[in-house]
Chain A
Amino acid sequence: MDKFMEMLENVLMPIAEKLNNNRYLSALRNGFMVALPLIIFGSIFVVIANLPFLDRVLSEEGYAAYQNALGPASAATLSIMGLFVIIGIGYKMVEGRGGEAIYGGVVAIASFLVLTPQVLEETSGVIPTSSLGAQGMFLGIFTAFISAELYQLFVRKNLTIKMPDGVPSAVSRSFSALIPVTLTLTIFLAVRVLFSFTGFETVQNFIYTLVQQPLTALGSGLPATLVAVLLIQVFWFFGLHGQIIVNSVFDPIWYSLNDENLAAFQSGEELPHIVTKQFIDTFIVGIGGSGMTLSVIFVIFIVAKSRQMRELGKLGGPSGIFNVNEPLIFGLPIIMNPLVLIPWLLAPVVVAAVTYFAMSTGFAPRPAGVIVPWTTPALLSGYLATGNNLMGAVMQLINMAIVFVIWLPFIKLLDKQYYGEELTAAEPA
């Protein structure tokens, strides 16, 4: 058993290392981090704009005026989050290469806008906000990667305008970004022109149809979601931060799905997706942390007799409420502990499937596209993530009960073992 575990760890460690430290994936993760404060700002105002009962207290006109007044908060942030992710990625990519990062940010956004059709139906001279949100997410990410790399490549080639002697060096330096930016944007312009001759007409269309749609369709399905959830658990079992590793691949998909739900929520339409960023963060992970360990802490409080377990419950309880569960993962321990492997892998998978079916049958509300910070305590997070819907909290409560039942026998077993050890140790020799 030990040999096998060691072998598996030797396989997983390099994967974790590659995924976490890959230049593109870490720029992507950091790009989302740049956008996060804005995303959360927008989410707060979606929550406030949709407070319960207001539609009954206020007149129809008053309620519409109230929603209109708050609308720009999310329209300027959450709905066009792609914009900030692109700037963040471009910035972080060039920063990682040791260049002048701000140019990475602007060249990325300019390249993206060069590729974006600036027309909406009959009106020209506009940038459709949808292309800055969910729809342009993948194109934006690729564009940011490529433009930042090209920019930095041209900078390294040291193509600068040679000024005659006597021109102050500050003047020639002020042109230092000019040539790399010009070359990069010219390439993107050429790409745009080339695509206009194809059946796709725009690069936007091309990426959306050939990459984004298939990937998000796959990512919104239950099978891919179960695989993602299971992978998170497997990595954690070996003491590797599964969430951060899996997120670096799935975040673009989950955030795109999220924004599509938000757009539908705000226009009062039926929410298209079940699986979104918040499906994972709120209903699978957001109940005490990866593995939904808040329920495990409840089990410990109710059945554990051993001192070791009770201490662990006290230690892990307060942080568990805010979804920080490292004390429990390393303390129980969950890592490399064959006794808890079954509930550790099984519980989140069962919960994901149950939540999926509950949402597809309409028993529980689907995530409304609001992004709730991951440290938000369970029940509150379920309520907020579903657009102020109490049934969201009820769904979390059901999930907690499922995890509780699955873990109960295993904690009893482990506790019995610890309790026995403590008794033996206490006996006078």
Chain B
Amino acid sequence: MVRILLACSSGMSTSLLVQKMEAEAKERGLDAEIWAVAQDKAPEDMKKADVLLIGPQMRFMKKKFAVTADEVGIPLDIIDPVSYGRVDGKAVLDKALELIENN
């Protein structure tokens, strides 16, 4: 079971990506819980996640989130803008799994 958390300003545009990522995970037969939250809820939800991905438009949050991510011991990164624009569930899922693996 992998738990992937996405965060942006209000969790709207990242939730678009969540749908695509869930579909991709299902196709691969991967047991995954993927969800999107607004920036204020992210620190709390990080405790329940294996990885945090930040929408590129909120990339200025990375430094602040990195502190909490470090405390709970999960990796985080900014979603690549091109994959974000294409709502590319496959690429972002790969990225999330890679981050978890290398943690």
How many A-B pairs have beta carbons closer than 8 Å: the answer is 71
Given that A236-B57, A241-B57, A324-B13 are contacting pairs, would A17 and B86 also be in contact in the complex, using a CB cutoff of 8 Å?
A: no
Given that A315-B86, A332-B85, A375-B12 are contacting pairs, would A326 and B60 also be in contact in the complex, using a CB cutoff of 8 Å?
A: no
Interchain CB contact (< 8 A) of B16 among A13, A236, A324: A324
B40 beta carbon closer than 8 Å to chain A: yes
Give A contacts to B, CB under 8 Å. Answer: 13, 16-17, 20-21, 26, 29-30, 33, 236, 239-241, 243-244, 312, 315, 319, 324-333, 335, 375
Contacting pair B81 A335 (CB below 8 A): yes
Complex CA–CA separation, A236 to B55 (angstroms): 13
CB distance from B86 to the nearest CB of A (A): 6
Residues on the A chain within 8 Å of B55, using CB: 326
CB distance from B55 to the nearest CB of A (A): 7
| Closest A residue, CB atoms, query B58 | A241
| Closest B residue, CB atoms, query A29 | B40
Complex CA–CA separation, A209 to B57 (angstroms): 37
Given that A33-B40, A319-B13, A324-B16 are contacting pairs, would A330 and B81 also be in contact in the complex, using a CB cutoff of 8 Å?
A: yes
Interchain CB contact (< 8 A) of B61 among A20, A29, A236, A243: A20
B84 beta carbon closer than 8 Å to chain A: yes
Complex CA–CA separation, A341 to B67 (angstroms): 35
Additional A-B contact list (11), CB under 8 Å, known A239-B81, A325-B13? A13-B60, A20-B39, A241-B8, A324-B12, A326-B8, A326-B13, A327-B86, A327-B87, A328-B85, A330-B57, A375-B12
Complex CA–CA separation, A202 to B60 (angstroms): 40
Complex CA–CA separation, A315 to B59 (angstroms): 23
Secondary structure class of chain B's binding surface, majority of residues: helix
Given that A30-B40, A324-B12, A327-B16 are contacting pairs, would A20 and B60 also be in contact in the complex, using a CB cutoff of 8 Å?
A: yes
Residues on the A chain within 8 Å of B64, using CB: 21
Residues on the A chain within 8 Å of B84, using CB: 326-327, 330
Contacting pair B61 A21 (CB below 8 A): yes
* Interface CB pairs A-B, < 8 A, 19: A21-B63, A30-B40, A33-B40, A240-B57, A243-B9, A244-B9, A315-B86, A319-B13, A319-B16, A324-B12, A324-B16, A326-B8, A326-B13, A326-B57, A327-B84, A330-B82, A331-B85, A331-B87, A375-B12
Contacting pair B60 A329 (CB below 8 A): no
Contacting pair A17 B60 (CB below 8 A): yes
Interface size class of B (residues with CB under 8 A): 20 to 34
Interchain CB contact (< 8 A) of B85 among A26, A33, A330: A330
Interface mask (B57-87 → A, CB under 8 Å = 1, otherwise 0): 1111101100000000000000001101111
User: Across chains A and B, which 9 residue pairs bring their CB atoms closest together, nearest first?
Assistant: A330-B85, A331-B85, A326-B13, A17-B60, A241-B57, A16-B60, A244-B9, A330-B84, A330-B81
Contact residues of B between 25 and 63, Cβ < 8 Å to A: 39-40, 55-61, 63
CB distance from A247 to the nearest CB of B (A): 10
Contacting pair B57 A329 (CB below 8 A): yes
Complex CA–CA separation, A328 to B85 (angstroms): 6
Complex CA–CA separation, A56 to B59 (angstroms): 53
Contacting pair B60 A21 (CB below 8 A): yes
Residues on the B chain within 8 Å of A335, using CB: 81
Residues on the B chain within 8 Å of A324, using CB: 12-13, 16
Most buried by B among A20, A244, A326, A332: A326
Residues on the B chain within 8 Å of A33, using CB: 40
Interface mask (B81-99 → A, CB under 8 Å = 1, otherwise 0): 1101111000000000000
Complex CA–CA separation, A241 to B84 (angstroms): 14
Given that A30-B40, A324-B16 are contacting pairs, would A239 and B57 also be in contact in the complex, using a CB cutoff of 8 Å?
A: yes
